[in-house]
Amino acid sequence: MSVDQTAFRAALLDPEAPVPAGLVDAAGAPAGKRFDVYRNNVAVSLTEALEVAFPVVRKLVGDDFFKAMAGVFLRRHPPTSPILALYGADFPRFLRGFKPAASLGYLPDVARLEQALRESFHAADAAPADAARLQALAPDALMRARLTLAPSLRVIRSPWPIHGIWTFNTTEGALQPPGEAQDVLITRTDYDPHPHLLPPGGADFVEALLKGDSFGAALGRAGAVARDFDLTATLGLLIGGEAITDIHTDEAPDDPLSATA
Amino acid sequence: MPDAAHRSDFTLPIAAGVGYKPRHFAAIMADPGRVGFLEIHAENYMGEGGRMVAQLGHLAERLPISLHGVGLSIGGEGRLDQDHLARLARLNAWLRPAAFSEHLAWSTHEGAYLNDLLPLPYTNATLQRVADHIDEVQEALGRRMMLENPSTYLAFAESTWAEPDFLREIARRTGCALLLDVNNVFVSATNLDFAPQGYIDAFPLDLVREIHLGGHAEDVDEHGRPLLIDDHGHKVTGAVWALYDYTIARAGPRPTLIEWDADVPEWPVLESEAARAARSLREAGA
């Protein structure tokens, strides 16, 4: 009696399924509980991977609920790659359709924030550009400049106060989350990703820069969304977060040291 | 590959090493103690950048690294994951590790990665498939690899080969070397009711380029018979140390790694396990 990997895998992910005939113990009897060791290894290790990946989601729903939810997810969406550091990319979408958690409408967006933090952690390294070069540009040259942003940068938009929820659940003594929409900018300094609250229009500004729009065009996009767009605060987050890695200008450089790298 | 290239495929020192955990980075950089090499799980270092990769770069300047794959699914019925093989080849080319190893097991089927080292029937068909996959890996990496014996909890009724003979034949066909996990031998011997010393006696010890030691957990099956779980979450047991000493008395001293992946202890505890292995290596003539 041969057991192929299709049969093995099907029984592995279904705790109710019979153990495939042909798997035996030392006496040649059906493997029984011995097969459960593999079942357990798969379910427990993938559940642990999700617990490490989504600690705030876990805190919001509680340990038991999270384990049960992870058990449903890992059977419906087993990893498609052996790189478990990024397992769970489908988790936010899964949560949107997971009825038992439907009362927590913000849960999928908190999961998106946590997944983005992991992506940022493993993203490529890039040295920050000298921010003084931005300040040295004449206003019209600045408006025409295009910025390259760090591969570890992420923008998460949400109709929920996800920055407040994340902070409240990760920081001792943090304030209760406000009842408003929040967009988050993730930047990475000294290899640690940090989520920052973006001012209104900030997400539009950064996303425009990411698309390759000029500084002036990005400013226009932000201003169209938020009339009092706080450019200083948004630029402060990008510079403080070492997220601007290159500054492209169309100026003929009169000082070779300030030439575009 | 020419013979000259073969000799440089395995350059681990005859010393005790440990499985690297990021929490031990500072301790190792300050003083690795009796630890003479580190082993890393390849899949944890396939990110584009960040702290994990940067720290690995620092460690590799300090100690020889054994690159240990856990996700290639060499025993899989389907084709090897070409994206994963390419990532592995890139990591190998950048890191230039002192050795590369993978498992006699499968973990991916029809695109789903199951995150466990799953068992194989020891048949002629499996043997041919595993040998073909090893040829492909050695070609992609431009080096020979070691294949590791698994810990098993059950057997396949269809198997026609004993595991040591099966591994010997794979090595003969592919030119690969072997990684002998002595804890796995003890776990499988207990679970499948054979004598662990007999397994060691039958094993092609001349092909062993690295030995693994680790802890296991004890359970019983539904008939009350012992069921050992290879959880890498404890100290190496006395019985496994005895089997290790038995092994290196026959094989001679070999690079020996302590694996501790769950409930990872503070550095001094892990280092003392490595020091215990180093003592055995000295007594075996290292």
Question: Band of the pLDDT at B286, cuts 50, 70, 90?
Answer: confident
Residues A49 and A94 in one domain: yes
Residue from B68, B84, B90, B154 whose CB has the most chain A CBs within 10 Å, to mutate: B154
The token duo for B83 is: 């994206």
Q: What residues contact B35, with CB distance under 8 A and at least 6 apart?
A: B15, B16, B17, B18, B28, B63, B271, B274
pLDDT over 90 at B273, yes or no: yes
Of B51, B113, B223, the CB nearest to A191: B51
ipTM value, please give it: 0.94
Residues A256 and A131 in one domain: yes
Pairing of strands B106-109, B112-118: antiparallel
| CA gap A23, B155 in Å, rounded | 6
Q: Give pLDDT tens digits for B53-67.
A: 999 999 999 999 999
| CA gap B248, B280 in Å, rounded | 8
- Residues of A numbered 168-187 whose beta carbons fall under 8 angstroms of chain B's beta carbons: which are they? none
Q: SS3 for A127?
A: coil
Residues A246 and A183 in one domain: yes
Q: What is the pTM of this model?
A: 0.94
Q: Is residue A116 one of the residues assigned to a domain?
A: no
- Nearest chain B Cα distance for residue A240, angstroms: 18
Residues A132 and A254 in one domain: yes
- Residues of B numbered 38-97 whose beta carbons fall under 8 angstroms of chain A's beta carbons: which are they? 43-44, 46-54, 70-73, 76-77, 81, 83-84, 87
| Of A72, A104, A136, the domain-final residue | A104
Residues A209 and A88 in one domain: no
Pairing of strands A244-248, A146-149: antiparallel
Q: Is residue A111 one of the residues assigned to a domain?
A: no
Residues A132 and A168 in one domain: yes
Looking at residue A226, its pLDDT comes to 96
Q: B209 phi and psi, to 5 degrees?
A: -110, -10
Angle at Cα B59 formed by Cα B53 and Cα B64, nearest 5°? 120
Q: pLDDT averaged over chain B? A: 96
Looking at residue A255, its pLDDT comes to 52
Q: Burial-class residue B162 by CB neighbours within 10 Å (0-12, 13-18, 19+).
A: middle
Local confidence pLDDT in tens for the 261 residues of chain A: 799 999 999 999 999 999 999 999 999 999 999 999 999 999 999 999 999 999 999 999 999 999 999 999 999 999 999 999 999 999 999 999 999 999 999 999 999 999 999 999 999 999 999 999 999 999 999 999 999 999 999 999 999 999 999 999 999 999 999 989 999 999 999 999 999 999 999 999 999 999 999 999 999 999 999 999 999 999 999 999 999 999 999 765 555 454 444
- Cα separations (Å) of B59 from A150, B17, B278? 26, 13, 20
Residues A41 and A138 in one domain: no
| CA gap B262, B234 in Å, rounded | 8
Residues A261 and A170 in one domain: yes
Q: What residues contact A45, with CB distance under 8 A and at least 6 apart?
A: B115, B116
Q: SS3 for B241?
A: helix
Residue B191 sits in which domain range? 3-283
Residue A203 sits in which domain range? 125-261
Q: Is residue A246 one of the residues assigned to a domain?
A: yes
Residues A49 and A130 in one domain: no
The tally of domains found in chain B comes to 1
The tally of domains found in chain A comes to 2
- Nearest chain B Cα distance for residue A203, angstroms: 24
Taking residue A214's Cβ as centre, other Cβ atoms within 10 Å add up to: 18
Angle at Cα B230 formed by Cα B122 and Cα B37, nearest 5°? 100
Tell me which chain A residues have a C-beta less than 8 angstroms from the C-beta of B154: 23-25, 31, 34-35
Q: SS3 for B23?
A: helix
Residues A77 and A134 in one domain: no
Q: Give pLDDT tens digits for B238-260.
A: 999 999 999 999 999 999 999 99
Q: Give pLDDT tens digits for B217-236.
A: 999 999 999 999 999 999 99
Looking at residue A253, its pLDDT comes to 53
Cβ of A122 within 8 Å of Cβ of B47? The answer is yes
Q: Is residue A120 one of the residues assigned to a domain?
A: no
- Range B82-95 average pLDDT: 97
Looking at residue A129, its pLDDT comes to 97
Q: Is residue A109 one of the residues assigned to a domain?
A: no
Alpha-carbon radius of gyration of chain A: 24
Cβ of A123 within 8 Å of Cβ of B107? The answer is no
**CATH number, domain with residue B212:** 3.20.20.150
Residues B243 and B207 sit within 8 Å (Cβ to Cβ): no
Looking at residue A1, its pLDDT comes to 75
The token duo for B67 is: 């690159």
Looking at residue A128, its pLDDT comes to 97
- Alpha-helical (H) ranges within chain A are 5-12, 33-53, 55-61, 63-76, 91-96, 107-122, 132-135, 139-144, 162-170, 202-211, 215-225, 231-240
Cβ of B222 within 8 Å of Cβ of A33? The answer is yes
Tell me which chain B residues have a C-beta less than 8 angstroms from the C-beta of A13: 114
Give me the sign of the Cα torsion angle A49, A53, A55, A58: negative
Q: Is residue A94 one of the residues assigned to a domain?
A: yes
Residues A77 and A175 in one domain: no
Residues B178 and B134 sit within 8 Å (Cβ to Cβ): no
Taking residue B277's Cβ as centre, other Cβ atoms within 10 Å add up to: 27
| CA gap B43, A205 in Å, rounded | 36
Residues A232 and A129 in one domain: yes
Percent of chain A past pLDDT 90, that is, above it, reads 94
- Nearest chain B Cα distance for residue A46, angstroms: 7
Cβ of A81 within 8 Å of Cβ of B225? The answer is no
- Range B6-21 average pLDDT: 92
